Amino acid sequence: MSFFLQQRLYNFLTQQFNPDGSIHFLAISAIKLEQEKPNLPTNIKVRLALTFQDSSGMNPYFDGTDLYITITPEDIRFIEEEVWAKGHRSGKAV
């Protein structure tokens, strides 16, 4: 993934999960998902680990989840939200 796409992804995740600055990303990994047609938007699986900070300090516990995101030149958004609850997707990574 290009640095430009990495930055777009990070900005999107920050906007979605950290609007007030209390969430801290511990790790973000992304893998492009296999697509049947090459001219479709880029679909990626993102593994996100985060924690939060409040007035008493940084929480020593963290949580992680898999998210699915599509990126086009004009847009970036979540996809397949129903899969998040199941924890897996049928589809190959490339």
Asked if residue 93 is part of any domain, the answer here is: no
pLDDT of residue 94: 46
Asked if residue 46 is part of any domain, the answer here is: yes
pTM for the model = 0.76
Domain holding 23, by residue range, is 3-85
The pLDDT mean for the chain works out to 83
The predicted model gives 55-80 an average pLDDT of 86
Asked if residue 94 is part of any domain, the answer here is: no
Asked if residue 92 is part of any domain, the answer here is: no
The predicted model gives 77-93 an average pLDDT of 70
Asked if residue 48 is part of any domain, the answer here is: yes
In the chain, the number of structural domains is: 1
Residues 6+ apart with CB under 8 A from 48: 13, 17, 25, 27, 28, 64, 65, 66, 67
Asked if residue 68 is part of any domain, the answer here is: yes
